[in-house]
Each structure stands twice: as structure tokens, then as C-alpha cells.
């Protein structure tokens, strides 16, 4: 299944609610992800730009998008980013394909000043 990186930043009221009442946020994320046929592989709280990150997998891009929309629609986040993750094998195949495919494309680097 394709893998994705979820990154989120909580709104202040969500942080306050988590401080007032202990919550198992990884379990809550798993409920949402599994509801769309996915799986949570890793969950971390984080310092920095985002408050949390998770590596998740879904059977399709559409199921990932639907889950992301559900999470975003919950109203607890100021930011929710989803990144498609590419395996090393997929990356190598893509590089091989890029090297072997002749498209006729020319980079702007190396053109004379008037083309």
C-alpha cells in the first residue's frame, strides 16, 4: 500500500483539552485511518513546526485524501499536511525511467541568451 506522512499542528483549544483530560491520540488517529482501510505505522509528537507526525499507509490516494479531509474537518488543527512517500525502489525506478526516456525537453540552463 502507498505510504504517506501526516504532519499536524494543534489549535490552542485542542492542546488545552489534552492537558485537562489525558487522551490516547495515536488510538484516535488509528480509528480514522483504519476507517478508510489504512494503517498507522508510526505516531510521534514533535517539537518544531508541527506538533505531531505519523507514517500511515492507505490502499489508494483517494482513501488517504478522504481520511485527511475527515481529520481536517474535525477542527482541532491549524495545519494538516499530507506528503506522499516514495520507497527507495520506486525512486530508483523513477530515476532509471527519467534517464532512459527521451522527451526532447531542454533545460533553461545552457541556452544562449536568446534561445
* pTM as predicted: 0.85
DSSP code, position 56: E
Model confidence at 111: pLDDT above 80: no
Domains of the chain: 3-100 (3.30.70.1060)
Per-residue model confidence as pLDDT tens digits over 72-90: 999 999 999 999 999 999 9
Task: Summarize the confidence of residues 11-38 as an average pLDDT.
Answer: 96
Per-residue model confidence as pLDDT tens digits over 63-72: 999 999 999 9
Cell of 10: 494543534
3-class secondary structure for 63-110?
A: HHHHHHHHHHHCCCEEEEEEEEECCHHHHHHHHHHHHHCCCCCCCCCC
User: What pLDDT is attached to residue 78?
Assistant: 96
% residues pLDDT > 70 (the chain): 97
Amino acid at each position: 500500500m502507498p505510504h504517506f506522512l501526516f504532519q499536524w499542528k494543534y489549535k490552542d483549544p485542542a492542546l488545552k483539552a489534552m492537558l485537562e483530560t489525558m487522551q490516547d491520540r495515536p488510538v484516535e488517529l488509528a480509528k480514522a485511518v483504519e476507517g478508510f482501510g489504512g494503517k498507522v505505522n508510526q505516531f510521534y509528537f514533535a517539537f518544531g513546526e508541527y506538533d505531531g507526525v505519523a507514517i500511515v499507509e492507505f490502499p489508494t490516494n483517494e482513501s488517504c485524501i478522504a481520511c485527511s479531509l475527515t481529520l481536517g474537518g474535525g477542527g482541532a488543527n491549524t495545519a494538516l499536511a499530507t506528503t506522499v512517500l516514495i520507497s527507495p525502489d520506486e525512486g530508483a525506478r523513477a530515476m532509471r525511467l527519467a534517464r532512459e526516456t527521451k522527451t526532447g525537453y531542454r533545460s533553461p540552463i545552457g541556452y544562449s541568451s536568446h534561445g
